[in-house]
Amino acid sequence: MSPSSGDIPDTVHIIPLGHEIDRAVQPFTKKKADRVYLLAIPPESDHDVVMREKQQHYTSEVIRRLKDLQIEVISQPVEMFEILEVMRIISRLIVREKEQGNQVFVNMSACGRKTSFAVTIAAMVHGVMAYYVPADAYATGALAHEESTHGISIVKTGKTEMLQSFQIMMPKHDSLLLLAELFRRDLQGKGEMNTEDIFSYLKQKGVPGFEKIPSGVGRDKKPQLSRKLLNRINSSCLKELEYQEYISREKRGRQYYFTITEAGKYIACVSGLVE
């Protein structure tokens, strides 16, 4: 729900879920939320059958308990072992909710360590609070029989610890637009963009200075205008992305070709610009 002028914003939690129940649910026994996005591996995922069935149990149990607390639950299937995918989806959810004026919190303790890293980075990049739910005990040894009820962590208090946030410097918005497009092309197997591709894309996105450029610029047509525009994007986007090693540049003939690096893929995914 998008709050109109004077409305109270929604409180939204994003919870990537592993083999946990209490860590996802217990915080809401003290503070309510309007909506929870619950991220977990899809039921048809290509994982060990036993692990997949266990996860289904935890996911179903968390959904049931949250609904009992009158909290709207939106299930979001995610390949939880793919950091880029986790960062991409969480960042997109954060951006969408913030655009609607809502307050967003991210639970980084109800998932595995690898996912927790992606979750925390995404929260800090977008300036929302990440929190940790401490365990009072663990469902191991003599308490192993408690796992199906509590998950691998047993939480009784429901207290949360807010993580200290710090600013993560991101490229400028126009640079992020270009990086996100390079990432999309990489996923589609297209891989690279030449200067003509970049000019056309920036024109399509309405980037100031590129709105009215004629077609064919960046190829052999209007070489003086091509050089002028290339100098402009060099100073505004490309040099920044190259310096931070988020893209690489190669000259072939008269054309420059740009590709996204592995580091650049992380920044593209956490930007919140990749649908």
For residue 246 the two structure tokens come to 């988020």
**Which pLDDT value is given to residue 191?**
80
CA 34, 37, 135: angle at the middle one, nearest 5?
A: 90
For residue 97 the two structure tokens come to 């909710």
Model confidence, pTM: 0.87
- Which amino acid is present at 36? V
pLDDT of residue 203: 85
pLDDT of residue 206: 85
Residue 4's pLDDT is: 52
Q: What are phi and psi of 193, to 5 degrees?
A: -130, 135
pLDDT at res. 165 = 83
| Amino acid at residue number 29 | T
Rg of the chain over Cα atoms, rounded to whole angstroms, equals 22
Tokens of 235: 């100073």
- Rounded Cα distance, 111 and 144, in Å: 19
Cα 36 to Cα 74: distance, rounded to the nearest angstrom: 6
Q: For residues 71 and 33, is the Cβ–Cβ distance under 8 A?
A: yes
**How far apart are alpha carbons 17 and 59 in whole angstroms?**
7
DSSP-derived secondary structure letter, 217: B
- By three-state DSSP, how is residue 147 classified? helix
The pLDDT of residue 226 is: 66
pLDDT tens digit at each of 275 positions of the chain? 555 556 889 999 999 999 999 999 999 998 899 999 999 998 887 778 888 889 999 999 999 999 999 999 999 999 998 999 999 999 999 999 999 999 999 999 999 999 999 999 999 999 999 999 999 999 999 999 999 999 999 999 878 999 988 888 899 999 999 999 999 999 998 889 988 888 888 888 888 877 777 666 555 555 566 677 778 888 888 999 999 999 999 988 878 899 999 999 999 999 999 98
Position 179 scores a pLDDT of 95
Predicted pLDDT at 84: 95
d(CA 22, CA 32): 15
